[in-house]
Structure 1
Amino acid sequence: MLPYKNLLLIKKNSQVAVFRQIATQFIGLIQEEKLLPGTELPSTRALAFDLALHRKTIMAAYNTLVAEDWIESLPRKGYIVSPRLPEVRPRSYHANRLASYQSAPGFMFKTLENFTYPPSSIRNANLIIDDGFPDIELLPKEAMLNEYRRVLHKTDLKKLNSGWDPEGTPDFRIALCEFLNQTRGLDIQTANLLTTRGAQMAIYLAASLIVQPGDKVVVSDPCYFFATKAFEQLGVELIAVPVDEHGMCTDIVEDILSKHVIKLLYVIPHHHHPTTVTMSTERRNHLLRLIRDYRLAVIEDDYDYDFQFQYDPYLPLASGDHDGNIIYIGSLTKVLGTPFRLGYMVAAENFIKAAAEWRILIDLRGDVFMEHVVAGLIRNGELTRLIQKANKLYRERCHFLADLVHTKLGDVVDFKRPNGGMALWLQFPKDFPLQKIIKKSLSLGLGIAGSTYTPETNVSYNAFRFGFASQHEDALEKAVEIFCRSFSR
């Protein structure tokens, strides 16, 4: 219903009768295409109330409009704009100007510089290679539906609606705490755990509590794009440390720590993003010693820990001796799929309390239903079975794609098959026109949405992540075939 109280302006001192003023303004609204044929008008009682007039005045105005065929009176229904009027389309309430949101605002606001994201055109591709996402077809759908039904039929459903748990629902945190202790060698209690909407929120929250504008933060080179963007928006100075086949170069980290005051270190020791490299035991031990000696705040981003193809997997840094200085961040999104935003932060109890209070400013409650559903999946073993099934399948796809790339692209690409994870890191010669090939592949139906690092994007690498976990082998084979057709060798 239109705001007639603001649209119909009555001049009490006018020589024109009030009912005629109302009728004339209604005619104007119809002629200006703000009231379309068939539009229902307010009742005489409602309009009289809005305009603070007697109902008989409104009835006189409506009768005038009916007599002139501008509106019709329908028995027991009320008044509508005459359907016999020409078809018109709605226009702005103010003539001769753009609608409010078609013009730029008159105030200044922040924007992200050099922000790149897969273009929307990729979504229309016949085949999409992602950054390394799980195969959502593996989800135990019936088990999840049963858990949803269980939560929806809980006798304390009303309590869930009104409850307040800033750290996350207790049911989920208890289950997740047990899961992390069993699978990652952690020794934590629920007081050390905060749930978030994905790992990205946890990274941003943790950094927000630690750094101030101008502080120095150590990251890897290359690094997870969205983490570095979050740090940059907090106004910090980034110091990049190279990554080689053994992970982040901790000797360089030690040299930096000896020369600068470092407020935060961001590290992905397990299946580093984007290179997929796993940090060696020697460097892990070295980094743990540095963390203790310098009392260094560390965000450990355990990108896709659950998918390891070896029998003796590395444990997180957080499972070692770090005197409470490591903030461990992970995500069940890498298990369940990107539509399910469910991350977590593990840290000292007082830090978790501060992070929970900070989170309230942007996310009051989190995904309560999903947390209860996943708690049920953990307790009944479905999550573990899903991870075991996915691990076996992703290992097969990893080996298949690695062999395929070696055979088809071995003369132009350099890569090492990872010991886990969901993507390959493919590096090309500096003069290889990777950006052009990616665009040509899109024209042939292949969208490459994996993180791309090329000289054209002011990054010294000429490489991209080829996600394999979400695709069947025939799709991986087709993707490599299209990529090969996109250039002449």
Structure 2
Amino acid sequence: MDSPVEIPFRSFIQLKPEENTAIYLQLVFEFIKAIQTGFLPEGTKLPGTRILCKVLSVNRNTLIKAFQDLESQGWIETLPNKGTFILSQQKQKSQTQYTFAKDQNQSELNLNTGFAFQRSTILENPTEISNLPYQFNDGMPDLRLVQTDVLARLYVSKLKRRKTSKTYEQIQLRSHLNFKTHFSNYLNLTRGIRISTSNLLTASSHEISLYLVTKVLISPGDKVVVASPGYYMSNMTLTNTGAQIISIPVNEDGIDTKRLKEICETSAIRVLYLTSNYHYPTTILLSAKKRIEVLELANQYGFVILEDDYDFDFHYDNNPVLPLAAFDSNQRVVYIGSFGKSLPSGFSYGFVAGPSDFIKELEKHQNILEPSIDVLKEQVLTEWITEGEVHRLSKKNKKIYKERRDYFVSLLNEKLADKIKFKVPPRGLAIWVEWLADFNLIKFQKECSNNGLFLPKTILYQTKNLTATRLGFGHLEKEEMEKAVSILKLSLETVLS
């Protein structure tokens, strides 16, 4: 990692004196966002307060107050005669998940409202928006490939059907059960899991599914193991439960199971959060040997495996690797995933598969968040599944995305072969690229922006021993890929020179 003075704090610590929020609170929020998104990696040593005050143009007492708040929440640690460091494992106390400004004057406390409220320092949205002509993301599908005409035809046909004498509640219940029946059969067929409707919960999004599971499964103080590097959105959701997050490294064949066992021998682990088939962000596949080890450890030490299969729809081989849930004979796996990521916004689904009693408990909480069912949407998707339209669309899209992956790989090899290393992923819409040279990714991001290419901060990963980027290709056509990779090459040459 760069020395503290060389870290470009002004590029990611954005203070707005014109706002009513106290500057010290703005500092707290901005530092937490920088830690969560990886701009201040674990173990980073911060410069002294006098130096940092000059860099950020703030009063020293204000900065000290912000650091005291950050330290009390467990984000930083000050060691006598050594300095201030970003903690390797944030051990936030459950009662300090929110910052409550009790010592501010009334105008600062209310923040332009007539009442006080809790402000989350965890759920800050790191998403960025840019109008630059070329953009990378972390692996999103191309919405231009959506077959809106087919969906529109099905929707119109449902709306034109004759009215029934049944009540809306009867229609809703019957329609939802019919959808769950066909959807569970679809999951059994495509993913090799063995579930019935009682083992399945469907939600409006993958994020809602994850939120519901963590709400029911995790209590404040529980120990949750995650891979590092990991997915910032799921880490935010898990941290928001008040859990103690424990990170374990990812090797060439998946998470470090030896380290996992060591942790289990000294601590009571509640949950292992795992993206086994396509680890986010590195795209590494958990090996068969480690799959068996993880299931055995869960059975031996009694923790729950929260398996997130977020990108199953995009695999390019004829025999996709099945999730751990397909081999779970001890009901230790809660399997969450997404469906219909290639469909128009509003048609995709999140789902949870698990023991029936657990699903019933999830439904109680879902009835508060999502009390109503979109009958037309479920009827349309049911018809798509029964008519085989989902399989046809999936097959067509996988062919297109495989061609894009292969072309993107050829461009990386052609223009950046001596600057990067990567493996061709068998699934997904992104490639994990590790840069061989030592340079600052924030400076690289700015140079790309100057040349018309947007790299969001959420795809940049930099630590003492790693400089990497997760480059999504699914949303790019060939000409767009060519231009984007050319800008990468040009910008890298500029930064290195």
Q: TM-score range with shorter-chain normalisation?
A: 0.7 to 0.9
- Report the Cα offset of residue 235 of structure 1: 0.6
Checking the alignment, whether the CA contact within 8 Å between 1:168 and 1:195 is kept in structure 2 is no
Structure 1 pair 460/108, CA: closer, same or farther in 2 (3 Å)?
farther
Contact preservation (8 Å) 2:188, 2:194:
yes
Tell me the residue number matched to 1:119.
128
Residue in 1 aligned with 2:474? Answer: 469
1:480 equivalent in structure 2: 485
* Residue 394 (1) aligns with residue 401 (2): yes
Q: Which amino acid aligns with 2:261?
A: E
User: What is the CA–CA distance in structure 1 between the aligned matches of 2:361 and 2:203, rounded to whole Å?
Assistant: 14
**2:431 aligns to what SS in structure 1?**
strand
Partner residue, 1:130: 137
Q: In the alignment, which residue of structure 2 is the partner of 1:384? A: 391
Give the secondary structure class of the aligned counterpart of 2:263.
helix
Question: C-alpha displacement at 1:339, in angstroms?
Answer: 5.0
Cα distance in 1 between the residues matched to 2:419 and 2:283: 19
Two-structure CA RMSD over aligned residues (Å): 2.6
Give, in angstroms, the shift of residue 436 of structure 1.
Answer: 1.8
Q: Is the 8 A contact 1:309 1:419 kept in 2?
A: yes
Number of residues paired by the alignment?
A: 386
The answer on 1:222 being equivalent to 2:237 is no
How far 1:323 moved relative to its partner? 1.4
> Is 1:233 matched up with 2:240?
yes
Superposition pairs for residues 86-485 of structure 1, below 5 Å?
Answer: 103-104=112-113, 106-113=115-122, 115=124, 117-120=126-129, 122=130, 124-155=131-162, 161-162=168-169, 169-336=176-343, 340-429=347-436, 431-449=438-456, 451-455=458-462, 461-485=466-490
**Letter of the structure 2 residue corresponding to residue 465 of structure 1:** R
TM-score, normalised by the number of residues in structure 2: 0.72
User: Following the alignment from structure 2 to structure 1, what is the Cα–Cα distance between the partners of residues 165 and 230?
Assistant: 44
| Map 1:17-36 → 2, pairs under 5 A | none
Shift of 1:142: 2.4
1:425 is paired with a residue of what secondary structure?
A: strand
Is the Cα–Cα contact under 8 Å of residues 175 and 379 in structure 2 kept in the other structure? Answer: no
Note closer, same or farther for the CA distance 1:160–1:412 as it changes in structure 2 (3 Å cut).
Answer: farther
Residue 453 to residue 444, structure 1, CA distance change in 2 (3 Å) = closer
Q: Which amino acid aligns with 1:145?
A: A
TM-score by length of 1: 0.73
Contact between 2:459 and 2:471, CA under 8 Å: does it hold in 1? Answer: no
Question: 2 CA distance for matches of 1:443 and 1:166?
Answer: 54
Q: Which secondary structure state, in structure 2, belongs to the residue aligned with residue 194 of structure 1?
A: strand
Report if the CA contact (8 A) 2:313-2:339 is conserved.
Answer: no
Task: Say if 1:416 and 1:367 are closer, same or farther in 2 by CA, change over 3 A.
Answer: farther
Q: Percent identity?
A: 30
Partner SS for 1:117:
coil
CA-to-partner distance for each residue in 1:201-256, whole Å, 9 max, x for gaps? 11111111111111100111111111110011111111111112211122221221
* C-alpha distance in structure 1 between counterparts of 2:264 and 2:360, whole Å: 28
Point out where structure 1 has 5 or more consecutive residues left out of the alignment: 1-97
Give 5+ residue unaligned stretches, structure 2.
1-106
Higher mean Cα deviation, 254-263 or 107-116? 107-116
CA 1:362 to 1:279, structure 2 compared with 1: closer, same or farther past 3 Å? same
Is the Cα contact below 8 Å between 2:337 and 2:351 reproduced in 1? yes
Contact 1:131 / 1:450 at 8 angstroms: preserved in 2?
A: no
Aligned partner of residue 150 in structure 2, secondary structure: helix
Q: Quote how far apart the aligned CAs of 1:365 are.
A: 2.3
C-alpha distance in 1, partners of 2:332/2:143?
35
Following superposition, the deviation at residue 337 of structure 1 comes to 5.3
Alpha-carbon shift at residue 151 of structure 1 (Å): 2.7
Aligned equivalents of 1:156 and 1:459: distance in 2?
65
Larger CA Rg, structure 1 vs 2: 1
Deviation at 1:477, TM superposition (A): 1.0
Shift in alpha-carbon separation, 1:211–1:113, aligned structure 2, 3 A: closer
Going from structure 1 to structure 2, the CA distance change for 1:476 and 1:383 (only over 3 Å counts) comes to same
C-alpha distance in 2 between matches for 1:426 and 1:451 = 14
Distance 1:165 1:443, change over 3 A: farther
CA contact (8 A) 2:123 2:240 kept: no
Shift of 1:430: 7.0
- Tell me, what secondary structure is at the counterpart of 1:269? coil
Residues 254 and 166 of structure 1, relative CA distance in 2, 3 Å threshold:
farther
- Change beyond 3 A, Cα 1:245–1:157: farther
Secondary structure, aligned partner of 1:442: helix
Which SS does the other structure have where 1:408 is aligned?
helix
> Residue 357 of structure 1: SS of its match in structure 2?
helix
